[in-house]
Amino acid sequence: METAIRIEGSHFIIDPRDIRVLDFVAWIPSAKGRRFHPIAVLQSGDYVFSLDGYDSVWSFIDAIQPRMPRKAVNAAMKGDTLHEQTVTSDVSREKEEDEWLPFARELEAFCRESEVSTLLFDGLFAKDGKKLPNLFSKIGRHYEVKSCEVLKAFYDSETTIEDHRAFHSRFIYRGLPNYLFYFDGFAVRLTRIAKDEFIVRSQICVPEGVDYRPYRQKTISTDTEWPEVDRCFALLREYPTDLPLLNSYAPDDLGLMTEEERDEIEWMRAQRAFLSAS
């Protein structure tokens, strides 16, 4: 994978080796003085994530480095050094040395050295303007990660669809096998719900959180309705890439809705987008 893949609005499939650590703070102000409350800011492709709090940060560390000793790592977060040798990275080269906290380098090394191939982030979309303690700048549009887990049975390969370079991913999501074909910023997702039945969905994921589905999801039988998958691809190919993405819509999080409710909203949004462009 070259970047994070977003599914169902606020769930992300991510290769930890593609994660950059933008910032890390360990202490926040409180009524009784400063208290230990780690916060990390990560980036994968176009998506920025915040891990706010001890449980969120450790959910991430336990996923990428499951055998790390908590006492030593907590001490490193507070300012101690885990390794004598400095770990360099693209991020550290972009930042001045006096602006870069040692544990941010360590955390990025955890990502790069992880034996885990794929993570699943569960996040909530956060609007602009979140200010972290000790940071002079605010975080723009990003996702607050509530939990992180290792995604099992993930396979990623390159394929060709209608003479276009595409990627084919297979993964288990909420106990069901999923097949994801993504190309040119669009994706078709198939979820197996029975031996010979799939749910077909279209996806146009915009990093700011506003998604579109030109194809209304449908349950198909592999014996008689497999051409529906081709129809779904055709609708995505017809979607104008230079379409104004309805800026009047505020970024939203539909995480509490059912898949059917989300599909209805994002399908209607796609129809309005087509009308606005015509």
Residues 43 and 91 in one domain: yes
- Pair (123, 176) in one structural domain: no
126 and 160 share one domain? no
The bridge status of strand 33-44 relative to strand 130-131 is: unpaired
Same domain, 146 and 172: no
Domain that holds residue 16: 5-150
Count of beta carbons in the 10 Å neighbourhood of residue 134: 14
pLDDT of residue 115: 93
Position 134 scores a pLDDT of: 56
Q: Which of 113, 133, 150 lies at the terminal end of a domain, its last residue?
A: 150
Q: Report the C-alpha gap between 4 and 14 in whole angstroms.
A: 5
User: In DSSP terms, which residues pair with 195 in a beta bridge?
Assistant: none
Asked if 249 and 269 touch (Cβ cutoff 8 Å), the reply is: yes
Model pLDDT, residue 162: 59
Cα–Cα distances (Å) from 15 to 75, 139, 151, 172, in that order, read: 27, 22, 10, 15
Q: Assess whether 197 and 267 both reside in one domain.
A: yes
Last residue of one domain, picked from the residues 125, 150, 175? 150
In the numeric block, the tokens 């955390």 are attached to 107
Residues 127 and 9 in one domain: yes
Q: CB–CB of 206/245 below 8 Å?
A: yes
List the structure tokens of 202. Answer: 């279209």
> For position 234, what pLDDT does the model report?
80
In the chain, the number of structural domains is 2
Same domain as 128, residue 163: no
Residue 68 and residue 205 in one domain: no
Same domain, 144 and 163: no
- Same structural domain, 118 and 215: no
Q: Tell me which of 100, 133, 150 is where a domain ends.
A: 150
Q: Mark whether 115 and 219 lie in a shared domain.
A: no
79: left (phi over 0), alpha (psi -120 to 50) or beta: left
| Residue 124 pLDDT | 76
Residue-by-residue DSSP string for the chain: --S-EEETTTEEEE-GGG-EEEEEEEEEEETTEEEEEEEEEEEETTEEEEEESHHHHHHHHHHH-TT--HHHHHHHHTT--S-SSPPP-HHHHHS-GGGS-HHHHHHHHHHHH-----EEEEEEEE-TTEE-TT-SSEE-SEEEEEEEEEPPS-EEEEEEETTEEEEEEEEEETTEEEEEEEETTEEEEEEEEETTEEEEEEEB--TTS--B-SSPPEEEETTT-THHHHHHHHHHHHS-TT----TTSPP---TTS-HHHHHHHHHHHHHHHHHHH-
Rounded to the nearest 10 degrees, how much is the dihedral formed by the CA atoms of 46, 50, 55, 61? 50
Q: What is the pTM of this model?
A: 0.74
The one-digit pLDDT tens for each residue of the chain (278 residues) are 566 778 767 788 899 999 999 989 888 888 888 889 999 999 998 888 999 999 999 999 999 999 899 999 999 998 865 443 333 334 444 444 444 457 999 999 999 999 998 899 987 777 666 666 655 556 777 888 888 989 876 777 776 665 556 677 888 877 888 888 877 667 788 899 998 899 998 877 766 666 778 888 999 998 888 888 888 878 877 776 555 544 434 445 555 567 788 788 888 888 877 666 55
Give yes or no: residues 9 and 127 share one domain: yes
